[in-house]
Amino acid sequence: MRYDVDARPPVDGTNDLNALLKGELAAVNAYQRALRSTEGGTTVDALEIRRFAREHQRTVAALQGAVREMGGVPASEAGTWGAFTLLRNTASVRELLDGEEAGLKMYEAANGTLNGDAHDLVTLELIPRQRKHIAELSAIISGLSA
């Protein structure tokens, strides 16, 4: 039998998943603040932001479940994202985009330490969703700049 001396020992992954969970909780908070700034608006941007918020909430539930499956206790406190006031402001939407980009980097970094269902969740669902959010927020910013 051959042993790879450079291989890292298996990690339970709950710390990595909880770090991702904190980021998702922060994303939910950020999108809720953004929605409050639209004051019940039904513009396309507000509808998209509502969808992003729902998707992040589903991600929170999935990550909480993954942490529990691994025998851990899910994080309950959010990380931090920037505060902003108006969704119609390009800078405020840019903050959402920056948060999505930071989330993508976290998912990509954690991906190498996760195994099994947690790895599949991050690779097959969460990373593609982050990339989609980044593309869509970039399009919103382009529309606001036009």
pLDDT value for 89: 63
Q: What is the mean pLDDT of each run of 10 residues along the chain (146 residues)?
A: 32 77 88 74 71 92 91 82 53 83 90 86 92 90 74
CA dihedral defined by 46, 51, 52, 58, rounded to 10 degrees? 150
Q: Whole-angstrom Cα distance, residue 84 to residue 23? A: 17
Fold of 14-74+82-145: Ferritin (1.20.1260)
Global confidence as pTM? 0.75
Q: Whole-angstrom Cα distance, residue 81 to residue 88? A: 18
pLDDT value for 113: 84
Of 97, 101, 88, residue with least CA distance to 37: 88
